[in-house]
């Protein structure tokens, strides 16, 4: 079991003591049991926090859109309407759960869960910090792609099972959009994998640093273009505007979840908002330095050296800083996603496919080649280090 968070927490004395005590009390080596319990608890925490973030996402969306449109937005429930999402949740749970009579019951019930499973499974490899990552799989990003594709199946089946023409059109649009835009996204990811030399999230982030010039975003011109391709493709994959054709209100009522009501609809919505968060997190990890913080604050070693702080404390502080760094960047991107949604008009279907196949995919392939050539030609150095080194060598330093 390759679990980073368990490894990190087992450094603490309390956990060691608890393990010893349990071993004594139960009469067998309890370390794996403790590890399992810790893992399960952390998983629950992550799922809970993410659900909350998903819920807050709806609130943020409404508030930001209101701001962009010079409105006030939700303002009744709680201060500044911040508890609106709880009210919505309660409403959804209490609503009647309707399954249309012509629907394919089995598939109809399964579809939202498939979406949710796909999204939650990806959370296993989202790198919140160097210590707080559920599992640093060595095929991390690849696993994430595979799991995220379940969402497409869910959307498609949701559309099919509803036995409604709006839903079916929405589902088919959604699935075709998702599998089409997976291609430029994956190729861009591969070009970043080429820079980092590994598939695991740890490797991908490990090649970057806290300062912006150490990010892969500014590593070379190709990765700079790649970021935008990835971001656009991610928007399309998560069915966000301006690519929200599967749920285009003006054409398809509400797309693949037209016939869903109550908590089933809630699950679709939740899955969508969490997926947006995950995708922003991946963009952060791949291009924006992930959880890295400047000046070695992440490991806490500088605190121990300069201030003489306790080592574990410094480490924990570093973790908190790293989590802060990650969330700051991710939520910044989250804001951009919402901003884009309320700024740009929706594309037509043919424009959508043209954008993917005639622009993004060729550019992504060009980027991949460009990255490969860059890595070969400049020995993997970033454009900043090249400039810096040339300046330094002119100045006579080495």
Partner 1 sequence: MFTNTLFLLSAALTIGGAFAVVYSENLMHACIFLLASFFGVAGLYACIGADFLAATQLVVYAGGVVILMLFAIMLTGGTANNFNRFGLEKIAAMGNKKTYFMAGITAVVSSLVLLKIIANVLRNQSSAALEANLPTVERIGTVLATDHILAFEISSVLLLGALIGAAVISRPRTEKND
Per CB under 8 A, residues contacting partner 1 are: 1, 32, 36, 104, 106-107, 110, 137-139, 142-143, 145-147, 149-150, 152-153, 156-157, 160, 168, 172, 175-176, 179, 182, 198-199
Residue 248 DSSP label? -
Nearest CA-CA partner of 335 in 276, 248, 267, 247:
276
CB of 147 to partner 1, least distance (A): 7
- Indicate the residue among 54 and 171 with the shorter CB distance to partner 1: 171
**Cβ at position 309, least distance to partner 1 in Å:** 35
Q: How many residues does the chain have?
A: 398
The dihedral of CA 211, 217, 219, 224: what is its sign?
negative
The Cα–Cα gap between 208 and 214 comes to 5
For partner 1, the closer CB: 143 or 227? 143
| Surface-to-core class of residue 279, CB atoms within 10 Å of its CB (0-12 exposed, 13-18 middle, 19+ buried) | buried
Select 111 or 331, whichever has its Cβ closest to partner 1.
Answer: 111
Residue 353 to residue 234: CA distance in whole angstroms:
15
Smallest gap from residue 233 Cβ to partner 1 (A): 14
Cβ proximity to partner 1, 141 vs 333, nearer residue: 141
- Residue 268: partners with Cβ closer than 8 Å, 6 or more residues away: 112, 115, 158, 256, 257, 260
Q: Which is nearer to partner 1, 51 or 138 (CB)?
A: 138
How far, in Å, CA of 28 to CA of 49, rounded?
A: 34
* Minimum distance from residue 89 beta carbon to partner 1 (Å): 28
- Helices and strands of the chain, counted as H and E runs: 16, 0
* Pick 66 or 145: Cβ nearer partner 1: 145
Residue 54, Cβ density class (10 Å: 0-12 exposed, 13-18 middle, ≥19 buried)? buried
Q: How far apart are CA 273 and CA 337, in angstroms?
A: 11
Least distance in angstroms from the C-beta of 219 to partner 1:
21
Nearer to partner 1, 32 or 52 (CB): 32
Taking the complex as a whole, the smallest distance from the CB of residue 143 to partner 1 amounts, in Å, to 5
């Amino acid at each position: 079991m390759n679990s980073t968070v368990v490894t990190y927490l087992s450094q603490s004395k309390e956990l060691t003591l608890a393990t010893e005590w349990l071993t004594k009390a139960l009469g067998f080596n309890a370390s794996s049991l403790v590890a399992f319990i810790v893992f399960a608890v952390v998983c629950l925490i992550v799922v809970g926090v993410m659900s909350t973030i998903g819920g807050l996402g709806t609130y943020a969306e409404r508030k930001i859109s209101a701001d962009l449109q010079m409105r006030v937005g939700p303002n009744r429930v709680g201060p500044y309407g911040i508890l609106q999402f709880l009210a919505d949740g309660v409403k959804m749970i209490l609503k009647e759960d309707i399954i249309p009579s012509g629907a394919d019951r089995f598939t109809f019930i399964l579809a939202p869960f498939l979406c949710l499973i796909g999204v939650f499974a990806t959370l296993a490899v989202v790198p919140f910090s160097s210590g707080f990552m559920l599992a640093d799989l060595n095929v991390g990003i690849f696993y994430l792609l595979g799991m995220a594709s379940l969402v497409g199946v869910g959307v498609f089946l949701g559309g099919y099972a509803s036995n409604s023409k709006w839903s079916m059109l929405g589902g088919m649009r959604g699935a075709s959009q998702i599998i089409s835009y997976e291609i430029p996204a994956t190729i861009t990811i591969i070009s970043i994998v080429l820079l980092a030399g590994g598939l695991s999230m740890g490797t991908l982030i490990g090649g970057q640093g806290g300062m912006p010039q150490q990010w892969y975003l500014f590593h070379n011109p190709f990765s700079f273009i790649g970021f935008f391709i990835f971001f656009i493709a991610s928007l399309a994959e998560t069915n966000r505007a301006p690519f929200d054709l599967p749920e285009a209100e003006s054409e398809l009522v509400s797309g693949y979840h037209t016939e869903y009501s109550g908590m089933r609809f809630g699950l679709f919505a939740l899955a969508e908002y969490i997926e947006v968060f995950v995708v922003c997190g991946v963009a952060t990890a791949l291009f924006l330095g992930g959880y890295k913080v400047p000046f070695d604050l992440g490991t806490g070693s500088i605190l121990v050296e300069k201030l003489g702080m306790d080592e574990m404390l410094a480490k924990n502080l570093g973790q908190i800083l790293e989590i802060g760094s990650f969330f700051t960047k991710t939520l910044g991107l989250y804001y951009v996603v919402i901003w884009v949604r309320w700024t740009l008009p929706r594309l037509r279907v043919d424009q959508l496919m043209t954008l993917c196949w005639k622009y993004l995919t060729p550019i992504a392939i060009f980027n991949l080649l460009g990255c490969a050539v860059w890595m070969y030609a400049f020995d993997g150095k970033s454009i900043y280090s090249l400039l810096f080194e040339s300046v330094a060598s002119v100045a006579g330093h080495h």
